[in-house]
């Protein structure tokens, strides 16, 4: 039997027409179109592109946007489920619970036909922002704000979160964030969703798998960690010392490094520019400068130590953008998911359309002996239900 490839590095697991990455040149395309060329479109058009396989014409876009707007309200039962959540949790945990509850109410839960899945897809894309904004407000003792059908996907999310309309610049940047976060080839959460779909489990279950996988700090959870890191650094001038201390303690710097890109992630420069625009518009450069100083310090330290620089990934400057948009850190990964839901759905539908169960092999190796008399549960830890 062959040797296992730890982390499945560079393994081609399947074929896809949804997106492609050139990790050497730093190029990302959605359905053959450079992501940079999609940024001036509404998120709805990019969602349609990913899920339906082509850009919508004017009428198709109007119909899809109208459908999403109609599906935005979460419904009182879902809001009541959110009201029963533990409010110390991350929004990702509440999102997982709400989507699971939503699935109970769908009469076509187990119908994996394309028609049923397109209907579920619109429901999921439309309701993710409503659920996340509602959870955020309920958790701080406020009432959820109903969606506003006059606003774009991005503007409406910020409106439901804050209870007031965002500026034009904020709304535009929120849309761009959703577009840049929407899809990224066989990232861990999309692969995990596809594995669930490949067993012919339903779309909701596959999406919940994606949510659970995106949450981890080595994947989308890094965005929240970046926001916390920026807060830990009192002034931009302290950034280099912060990086050196982390490295001395063998800790990873969140928002840096990537499995596929050997150069700059093409989304990073765009997010950096958006962070700068927001910083200037608010007359507060501190978080942006802290980010830039961390980036420069890591580049310097890695180039000197290993002759191999590491670059910021998509989570770094997006985390700083979220700070300028007043998005609470515990919402960060869930806001990432608002964009990524379209990519997950596209992957699941591609999997259903030409399915074979995903079932690789493992090489058996004899385990080491566990220590003797190890208690099954630590007596100090209590699970409170």
Of the two residues 144 and 255, which places its CB atom closer to ligand ACO in the complex?
A: 255
Q: Confirm or reject binding of residue 300 to ligand ACO (CB under 6 A).
A: no
By CB under 6 A, which span of 63-71, 145-153, 155-163, 256-264 interacts with ligand ACO?
Answer: 256-264
Q: Confirm or reject binding of residue 258 to ligand ACO (CB under 6 A).
A: yes
Tell me how far apart the alpha carbons of residues 332 and 337 are, in angstroms, rounded to a whole number. Answer: 9
258 and 313 Cβ atoms separated by less than 8 Å: yes
Of the two residues 67 and 310, which places its CB atom closer to ligand ACO in the complex?
A: 310
Of the two residues 185 and 202, which places its CB atom closer to ligand ACO in the complex?
A: 185
Q: Confirm or reject binding of residue 254 to ligand ACO (CB under 6 A).
A: yes
Q: Please identify which residue in 154, 236, 255, 329 interacts with ligand ACO, judged by CB under 6 A.
A: 255
Active site residues: 258, 315
**For 107, how many CA atoms within 13 A lie in the half-sphere containing its CB?**
0
Tell me how far apart the alpha carbons of residues 295 and 255 are, in angstroms, rounded to a whole number. Answer: 10
263 and 311 Cβ atoms separated by less than 8 Å: yes
Q: Please identify which residue in 175, 315, 319, 330 interacts with ligand ACO, judged by CB under 6 A.
A: 315
Q: Please identify which residue in 222, 294, 320, 341 interacts with ligand ACO, judged by CB under 6 A.
A: 222
Q: Confirm or reject binding of residue 257 to ligand ACO (CB under 6 A).
A: yes
Q: Confirm or reject binding of residue 268 to ligand ACO (CB under 6 A).
A: no
By CB under 6 A, which span of 156-164, 192-200, 247-255, 273-281 interacts with ligand ACO?
Answer: 247-255
Q: Confirm or reject binding of residue 295 to ligand ACO (CB under 6 A).
A: no
Nearest in space to 314 (alpha carbons), one of 192, 182, 208, 180: 180
Q: Confirm or reject binding of residue 90 to ligand ACO (CB under 6 A).
A: no
Q: Please identify which residue in 47, 209, 313, 351 interacts with ligand ACO, judged by CB under 6 A.
A: 313
288 and 234 Cβ atoms separated by less than 8 Å: no
**Helices and strands per DSSP (H, E), number in the chain:** 15, 3
Of the two residues 127 and 267, which places its CB atom closer to ligand ACO in the complex?
A: 267
- 170-209 positions binding ligand ACO, by CB under 6 A: 187
Q: How far is the CB of 256 from ligand ACO (least distance, A)?
A: 4
Q: List C-alpha distances in Å: 315 to 35, 36, 53, 244, 378.
A: 16, 17, 26, 21, 35
Q: How far is the CB of 258 from ligand ACO (least distance, A)?
A: 5
DSSP 3-state percent helix, strand, coil across the chain (nearest 5): 60, 5, 40
Q: Please identify which residue in 1, 2, 7, 11 interacts with ligand ACO, judged by CB under 6 A.
A: 7
54 and 31 Cβ atoms separated by less than 8 Å: yes
- Tokens 């945990």 — which residue? 93
Q: Confirm or reject binding of residue 253 to ligand ACO (CB under 6 A).
A: yes
Kindly state the helix (H) or strand (E) to which residue 112 belongs, with its residue range: none
Tell me how far apart the alpha carbons of residues 15 and 101 are, in angstroms, rounded to a whole number. Answer: 32
The footprint of ligand ACO (CB under 6 A) covers: 7, 187, 218-220, 222, 252-259, 310, 313-315
């Amino acid at each position: 039997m062959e040797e296992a490839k730890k982390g499945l590095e560079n393994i081609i697991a399947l074929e896809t027409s949804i997106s492609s990455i050139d990790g050497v040149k730093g190029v990302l395309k959605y359905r053959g179109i450079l992501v940079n060329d999609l940024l001036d479109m509404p998120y709805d058009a990019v969602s349609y592109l990913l899920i339906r396989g082509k850009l919508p014409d004017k009428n198709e876009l109007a119909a899809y946007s109208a459908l999403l707007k109609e599906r935005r309200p979460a419904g009182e039962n879902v809001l009541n489920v959110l009201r029963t959540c533990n409010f110390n949790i991350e929004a990702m945990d509440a999102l997982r619970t709400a989507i699971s509850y939503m699935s109970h109410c769908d009469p076509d839960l187990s119908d994996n036909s394309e028609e049923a899945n397109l209907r579920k897809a619109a429901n999921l894309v439309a309701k993710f922002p409503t659920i996340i904004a509602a959870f955020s407000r309920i958790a701080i003792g406020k009432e959820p704000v109903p969606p506003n059908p006059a606003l774009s996907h991005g503007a409406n999310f910020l409106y439901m979160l804050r209870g007031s309309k965002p500026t034009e610049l904020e709304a535009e940047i929120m849309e761009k964030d959703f577009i840049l976060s929407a899809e990224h080839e066989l990232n861990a959460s999309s692969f995990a969703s596809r594995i669930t779909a490949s067993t012919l489990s339903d779309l909701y279950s596959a999406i919940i798998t994606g949510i659970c996988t995106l949450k981890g700090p080595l994947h989308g959870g890094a965005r929240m960690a970046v926001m916390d890191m920026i807060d830990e650094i009192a002034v931009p001038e302290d950034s280099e010392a912060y990086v050196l201390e982390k490295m001395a303690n063998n800790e990873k710097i969140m928002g840096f490094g990537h499995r596929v890109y050997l150069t700059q992630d093409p989304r990073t420069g765009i997010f950096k520019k958006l962070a700068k625009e927001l910083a200037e518009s608010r007359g507060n450069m501190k978080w942006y400068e802290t980010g830039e100083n961390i980036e420069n310090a890591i580049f310097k330290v890695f180039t000197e130590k290993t002759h191999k620089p590491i670059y910021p990934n998509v989570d770094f400057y997006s985390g700083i953008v979220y700070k300028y948009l007043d998005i609470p850190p515990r919402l960060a990964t869930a806001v990432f998911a608002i964009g990524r839901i379209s990519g997950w759905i596209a992957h699941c539908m591609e999997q259903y359309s030409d399915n074979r169960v995903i079932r690789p092999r493992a090489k058996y190796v004899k385990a080491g002996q566990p220590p003797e008399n190890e208690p099954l549960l630590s007596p100090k830890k209590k699970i409170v239900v």
